[in-house]
């Protein structure tokens, strides 16, 4: 698919909204409105939005846990308000306020989210299997981190997706860190993509800070999957701007990451670089940029108010949730 | 005596045992920095070869512990959240628990599986579980659930020295709790209950966070009811004798458990009291435990996990 100007603007807007939603979630955590924890997605917006934009609503999406999926959710057409309300523990949340931070939006193909890292592999395999059985050219986008790739279930799922030629696009957000552990001490090779090629899954490594590079790679894989040509894998090299979990130490093993290191990373901020590109190409004007920013801020303020005003769930719902009729 | 926090008590136990026996080592994700602080700082003294940060691979964390224990090492494998132990189900429930038995006692498995447990932090279904009943159910595993800094330290030392796989669950909401411990070295043996508060009217049996709940309620009710609080401290081995002795004295028993009510730890302890002290009971045994739901996140957690008001109501009702 050739990206039109409107598409580029949608992607830019979605990245900005992702960042603003991230910021308001952090603020909510600090103010005690967000009840559990939050793993900021700052630095990986280009991957999330590049990967999940312009999919079909019925394509399945397993969002990466960072940002609790927000960039992917917004790009796929999901609701930031449902996301935030869930984090505030309100009945208007995407899981009726009983999950705390998981997100589900089956109408947009987001069937659920896990607290256990690495669940993505076997579960997405199931979604991919269903997509193949349905025969409607749906695809499954299955996202995980470099840390998640250390789970053994990756191998079982990669292998079977290849053997069964399932329409799955495996996407790795490789930000080089898993909580406090750097990938150099957790993985024997340089590229996680090599794990896919080992199972005859075509794989590419892309610059995850470049939304266009991500999008093109994912779309190529999506087209192949829709055409029945089986799974692909994309490894995107990204950055994690913030500490693992808001408020946790920002360390590599037990050594703090330095301000210089973080500042260096932030020079690659995918929102800033994409903005510069769009301004240069004349796709956006300075006024457009300002409006997008203001609109996103207004949207977040409105969301926050809505979530604050929402009711907490009625505990009688719990009994209806354990078993289906 | 000195005052110390729960988290520090575990840290001291680990440090002392690492110093005492070079076969002891810690293995797990992010243990050098320490997600909950229990292993924080140890790497400075013992180095990364003994305080081993691993990839996100619970299956091999457990497997490495079991495998190396068979050759005489004494690993302490850390799982961060007890919920993540499910990922290593085969290694924990089938290998660690059974391998001594099925190999006719030819091998030993001196290891500790350590994790945070429990709720009251609104972290949702996959970061809040109290899976004690699964471990208690499984022959071959020992199970430690400390409720005070004193016990946390003394029991960790015994767990490491034990020649069996010991699951050690510390409650994430108890880590800041302060308590007194001796300056000098001590251990708390596995299988010895502790009477946390003496009383004559009602026996309350509880572990972990529930002990602190029970003690709070007992204090609140002290003018009306004399509550005896018994903490088994280890659920396997279970010091049922101390519980039975207390029940014979009070004639009334309440078992409090943060785990799910159905087939939970409380069910087992209740059953043993019925078998051993039925004739001494003046009232049906009460069981306070989590409702039979997954633990929800957000505000709904309060409606599933046991609360002090539930314990209070049960004591008032049974003592009536
Ligand atoms: C099975 C399991 N083990 C450990 C954790 C704790 N944990 C949560 S996120 C995380 C790091 C994940 O790293 P990665 O997959 O690279 O994603 P990132 O957070 O870097 O985006 C860890 C260790 C978990 N949630 N589940």
pLDDT in tens, chain B (320 residues): 999 999 999 999 999 999 999 999 999 999 999 999 999 999 999 999 999 999 999 999 999 999 999 999 999 999 999 999 999 999 999 999 999 999 999 999 999 999 999 999 999 999 999 999 999 999 999 999 999 999 999 999 999 999 999 999 999 999 999 999 999 999 999 999 999 999 999 999 999 999 999 999 999 999 999 999 999 999 999 999 999 999 999 999 999 999 999 999 999 999 999 999 999 999 999 999 999 999 999 999 999 999 999 999 999 999 98
Which of B115, B149, B181 is the C-terminal boundary of a domain? Answer: B181
Say if B167 falls within a structural domain: yes
CATH of residue B121's domain is: 3.40.50.970
CATH architecture of the domain with residue range A5-321 = 3-Layer(aba) Sandwich (3.40)
Which of B157, B181, B205 is the C-terminal boundary of a domain? Answer: B181
Average pLDDT, chain A: 97
Q: What tens digit of pLDDT does each residue of A238-259 get? A: 999 999 999 999 999 999 999 9
Nearest CA distance, A307 vs chain B (angstrom): 13
Residues lining ligand 1, Cβ inside 6 A: A 39, 66, 115-118, 144-148, 173, 175, 177-179, 240; B 29, 56, 58, 80, 84, 87
Residue A101 in contact with residue B124, Cβ under 8 Å?
yes
CA distances from A235 to A164, A180, A204, B125, B302 (A): 22, 21, 6, 30, 41
Residue B35 in contact with residue A179, Cβ under 8 Å?
yes
Say if B189 falls within a structural domain: no
- Chain A residues inside the 8 Å CB shell of B126: 114-116
Say if B91 falls within a structural domain: yes
Beta bridge partners of A202: none
Note the pLDDT of residue A1.
Answer: 64
B168 and B230 share one domain? no
Say if B187 falls within a structural domain: no
Euclidean distance between the first and the last CA atom of chain B, given in angstroms as a whole number:
40
| Two structure tokens written together for A20 | 């603003």
- Side-chain-side CA neighbours of B25 within 13 Å: the count stands at 21
CA distances from A180 to A28, A251, A261 (A): 24, 6, 15
Q: What tens digit of pLDDT does each residue of A43-73 get? A: 999 999 999 999 999 999 999 999 999 999 9
The residues of B that are catalytic are 127
Other beta carbons within 10 angstroms of residue A202's beta carbon come to 17
Note the pLDDT of residue A2.
Answer: 84
**To probe the interface with B, which of A29, A33, A36, A87 has the most B CB atoms within 10 Å?**
A36
B172 and B211 share one domain? no
Do the strands A177-178 and A181-182 form a parallel or antiparallel pair, or are they unpaired? antiparallel
Note the pLDDT of residue B58.
Answer: 98
SS3 B202: strand
Helix axes A45-52, A270-280, angle to 10 degrees: 60
Helix axes A5-30, A286-309, angle to 10 degrees: 40
B246 and B124 share one domain? no
Low-confidence ranges of chain A (pLDDT < 50): none
| Two structure tokens written together for A37 | 């924890």
B38 and B142 share one domain? yes
Pocket test for ligand 1, best of A117, A177, A184 (most atoms within 8 A of CB): A117
Among B59, B297, B303, the residue with its CB nearest the CB of A152 is B59
Output B63-68 pairs: Cβ under 8 A, ≥24 positions apart.
B63/B88, B63/B91, B63/B95, B64/B27, B65/B27, B65/B91, B65/B96, B65/B111, B65/B113, B66/B91, B66/B95, B66/B96, B66/B99, B66/B109, B66/B111, B66/B165
Residue B143 in contact with residue B236, Cβ under 8 Å?
yes
Give me the domain span that covers residue B21: 2-181
Say if B186 falls within a structural domain: no
List Cβ neighbours of B28 (8 Å cut-off, separation of 6 or more). Answer: B39, B52, B53, B54, B61, B77, B78, B79, B80, B114
**To probe the interface with A, which of B36, B41, B42, B56 has the most A CB atoms within 10 Å?**
B56
The DSSP output letter for B75 is E
CATH of residue B311's domain is: 3.40.50.920
Residue B130 in contact with residue B82, Cβ under 8 Å?
yes
- Counting the structural domains of chain B, the total is 2
Domains of chain A, residue spans: 5-321
With a threshold of 0.90, does the pTM exceed it?
Answer: yes
Please name the residue of chain B whose CA is at the shortest distance from the CA of residue A145: B56
């Amino acid at each position: 698919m050739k990206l039109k100007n409107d598409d580029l603007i949608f992607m830019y807007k979605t990245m900005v909204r992702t960042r603003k939603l991230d910021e308001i979630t952090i603020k909510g955590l600090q103010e005690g409105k967000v009840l559990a924890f939050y793993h900021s997605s700052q630095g990986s917006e280009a991957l999330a939005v590049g990967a999940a934009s312009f999919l079909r609503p019925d394509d399945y999406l397993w969002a990466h846990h960072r940002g609790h999926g927000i960039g992917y959710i917004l790009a796929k057409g999901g609701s930031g308000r449902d996301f935030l309300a869930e984090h505030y523990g309100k009945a208007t949340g995407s899981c009726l306020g009983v999950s705390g931070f998981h997100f589900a939006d089956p109408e947009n193909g987001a069937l659920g989210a896990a607290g256990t890292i690495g669940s993505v592999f076997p579960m997405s395999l199931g979604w991919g299997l269903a997509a193949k059985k349905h025969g409607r050219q749906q695809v499954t986008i299955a996202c995980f981190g470099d840390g998640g790739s250390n789970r053994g279930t990756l191998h079982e799922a990669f292998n079977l997706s290849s053997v069964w030629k399932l329409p799955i696009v495996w996407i790795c957000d490789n930000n080089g860190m898993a909580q406090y552990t750097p990938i150099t001490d957790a993985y024997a090779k340089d590229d996680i993509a090599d794990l896919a090629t080992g199972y005859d899954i075509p794989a590419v490594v892309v610059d995850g800070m470049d939304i266009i590079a991500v999008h093109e790679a994912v779309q190529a894989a999506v087209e192949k999957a829709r055409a029945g040509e089986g799974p692909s894998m994309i490894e995107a090299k990204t950055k994690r701007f913030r500490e693992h979990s808001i408020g946790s130490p920002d360390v590599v093993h037990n050594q703090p990451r330095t301000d210089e290191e973080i500042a260096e990373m932030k020079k690659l901020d995918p929102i800033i670089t994409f903005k510069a590109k769009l301004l240069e190409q004349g796709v956006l004007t300075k006024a457009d940029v300002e409006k997008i920013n203001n609109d996103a801020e207004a949207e977040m303020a409105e969301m926050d108010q809505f979530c604050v005003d929402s009711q907490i769930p009625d505990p009688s719902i719990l009994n209806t949730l354990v078993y289906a009729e | 005596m000195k005052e110390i926090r729960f988290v520090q008590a575990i840290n001291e136990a680990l440090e002392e045992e690492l110093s005492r026996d070079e076969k002891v080592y810690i293995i797990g994700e992010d243990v050098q920095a320490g997600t909950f602080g229990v292993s924080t700082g140890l790497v400075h003294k013992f180095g990364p070869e003994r305080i081993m940060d691993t990839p996100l691979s619970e299956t091999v964390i457990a497997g490495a512990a079991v495998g190396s224990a068979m050759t005489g090492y004494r690993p302490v494998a850390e799982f961060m959240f007890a919920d993540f132990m499910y990922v290593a189900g085969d290694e924990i429930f089938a290998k660690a628990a059974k391998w001594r038995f099925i190999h006719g006692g030819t091998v030993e498995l001196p290891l500790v599986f350590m994790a945070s447990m429990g709720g009251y932090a609104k972290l949702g279904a996959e970061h809040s579980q109290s899976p004690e009943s699964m471990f208690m159910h499984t022959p071959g595993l020992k199970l430690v659930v400390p409720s005070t800094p004193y016990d946390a330290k003394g029991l960790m030392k015994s767990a490491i020295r034990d020649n069996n796989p010991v699951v050690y669950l510390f409650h994430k909401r108890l880590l800041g709790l302060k308590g007194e411990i001796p300056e000098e070295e001590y251990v708390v043996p596995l299988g010895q209950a502790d009477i946390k508060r003496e009383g004559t009217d009602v026996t309350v049996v509880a572990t972990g966070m529930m002990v602190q709940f029970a003690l709070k309620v007992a204090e609140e009710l002290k003018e009306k009811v004399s509550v005896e609080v018994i903490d088994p401290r280890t659920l396997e081995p279970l010091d049922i004798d101390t519980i039975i002795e207390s029940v014979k004295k009070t004639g009334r028993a309440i078992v409090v458990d943060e785990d799910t009510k159905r087939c939970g730890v409380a069910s087992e302890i209740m059953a043993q009291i019925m078998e051993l002290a039925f004739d001494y009971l003046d009232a049906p045994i009460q069981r306070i435990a989590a409702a039979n739901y997954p633990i929800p996140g957000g505000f709904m957690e309060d409606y599933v996990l046991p609360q002090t008001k539930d314990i209070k109501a049960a004591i008032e009702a049974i003592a009536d």
